[in-house]
Structure 1
Amino acid sequence: MAAYLCHEAPDLLTHEAEVVDSRPGAVVLSRSALYPGGGGQPTDRGTLAWKGGETAITGVEQQGSRLWHLLAESVEISGPVELRVDPDFRFLMQQLHTGLHIVNALAFQAFDGALVTGANMTGDPVSGGGTARIDLDLPGADNQRLREMEATINDIIAQDLPVNTFSLPMAQAAQEPGTLRSKAVTPPAQPDGTVRIVEIAGLDRQACGGTHLSSTGESRPLRILKVENKGRHNRRVKLGLADL
């Protein structure tokens, strides 16, 4: 789990940088606040501006420790640039990702330590709509019990619980039940041997590399749109943000 600038400075959405490598339609920057994607969360949207031009960033390609920012135009850029993260899309993903953590925490408590087998988020910042899904290892679970979590989810949002992040040594995180919540994937350690932890005060703490709200109360209410079986073990919970 790499240490990203969006982790260190979550409110930094516009900043200057230098192009350190380039090819037609792609650049590596000296620093970038763009979340590159991972764990079911898509890459941030944004734009790159330079003297004489501006273009959208369409994705990120990771090669080792280098992040190639893929551009909408086949231009080759050098020198100073300004990176601008789309604030609406970032906020949309923060709401959805924090919501998934709430669902995950409630299911972990209610179903004897249910582990995550997959997650995905998608959204349209223009309309303000977004959905997310989480797959849980819950063989034999009553789907109605999962549907009934909606009221508790929104009660937690209304409580405006702080959401904090910090680092733990990987060995310590591995010894704390529920901190490594994925059934199949162990999050990679950061270069210093630690793992990033996201904690919702009084509710949950788990390893995660995504972007989140600073408190649950920043989120719009969430709706459970669907609960369905995906194979013998998996239960899929699909969430949506309430209409604006």
Structure 2
Amino acid sequence: MTRLFCQDNPGILKLDARVLKSRPGAVLLSRHPLYPGGGGQLPDRGIVRWQGGETPVAGFSEEGGLAWIQLPSNTEITGEVQVEVDPVFRQLMRELHTDLHVLNALVFRDFDGALVTGVQMNEDGTARIDFDLPGADNDRLRALEAELNDVVAQDLAVETSYVSVTEAHGEQGLLRSRSVAPPPSAEGLVRIVEIAGLDRQACGGTHLQSTGASRPIRILKIENKGRSNRRVRIGLQGL
């Protein structure tokens, strides 16, 4: 997988770039700040501008290891462009993704290393995360809301680093999904997201620089999904 600009620079929302390849409805750029989606995180929204026009980003596709930006209709672009990320939507995804890491860390700690079986973030400021938790007490899960918000109030730093695939598989707790591991970069490295003093796990998405940049969190609902799956739905207060 290509290492994404946004993974190392989530706060940079505007970049100039060159068109490397173009066809009606799609363009391949020298670089861009957009997150194409994955790991339960929705793809960024954004705009591509060029001399004489602009168009919203319609989506993303990977072809032959190359990440193409999809454009509406049969728009075709050449030359120099500027790509800008929708800042409100990026912030929303960064908050939800960071908050899910906090919840994941607390469940992993308090429920015997329970693994994640599914994640989805939504544009309405809610998200859900599924855990392999047969027989878990829903009241214990619901009680984590207070500690979730305590972690937000502590404003813990969130940092990223990279380790080899061997290290990622060798360090207990880095890989939290029961069935899917984040794909390594072209250099064979796995990206690690660390919340100071709380959590350290492999992840490819965009996150906040510190937990205090998130709005308060509510645990909205806890559902039983099958014999062992427990689904926790969260939402950002005020949305």
Give TM-score, length-normalised by structure 2.
0.97
Aligned to 1:81: 81
Aligned to 2:13: 13
2:183 to 180, 184, 188: 188
In 2, Cα distance between equivalents of 1:142 and 1:58: 42
In 1, Cα distance between equivalents of 2:131 and 2:156: 24
In 2, Cα distance between equivalents of 1:120 and 1:9: 23
1:220 paired with 2:215, answer yes
Aligned to 1:161: 156
Alpha carbons 1:222, 1:240 under 8 Å: kept: yes
Comparing 208-217 with 19-28, greater Cα deviation is found at 19-28
Aligned to 1:45: 45
1:205 paired with 2:180, answer no
In 1, Cα distance between equivalents of 2:64 and 2:204: 17
> Structure 1 residue 177: deviation in Å?
1.0
> Structure 1 residue 64: deviation in Å?
2.9
Amino acid at match of 2:97: H
Aligned to 1:105: 105
Unaligned runs of 5+ in 1: 124-128
Helix, strand or coil: the match of 2:104? helix
In 2, Cα distance between equivalents of 1:64 and 1:204: 34
1:233 paired with 2:228, answer yes
Helix, strand or coil: the match of 1:27? strand
Identity of aligned residues (%): 59
Give TM-score, length-normalised by structure 1.
0.95
Report Cα offsets for 1:24-59 as digits up to 9, x if no partner.
Answer: 111111111100110000110000011111110011
Alpha carbons 1:25, 1:75 under 8 Å: kept: yes
Amino acid at match of 1:3: R
> Structure 1 residue 72: deviation in Å?
2.3
Amino acid at match of 1:8: D
Aligned to 1:142: 137
Amino acid at match of 2:201: Q
Aligned to 1:126: none
Aligned to 1:35: 35
In 1, Cα distance between equivalents of 2:216 and 2:85: 25
> Structure 1 residue 192: deviation in Å?
1.7
Aligned to 2:169: 174
In 2, Cα distance between equivalents of 1:64 and 1:154: 43
Aligned to 1:72: 72
Unaligned runs of 5+ in 2: none
In 1, Cα distance between equivalents of 2:195 and 2:110: 17
Amino acid at match of 2:141: L
In 2, Cα distance between equivalents of 1:170 and 1:44: 27
> Structure 1 residue 176: deviation in Å?
1.1
In 2, Cα distance between equivalents of 1:63 and 1:227: 39
In 2, Cα distance between equivalents of 1:52 and 1:186: 43
> Structure 1 residue 8: deviation in Å?
2.3
> Structure 1 residue 73: deviation in Å?
3.6
Alpha carbons 1:50, 1:82 under 8 Å: kept: yes
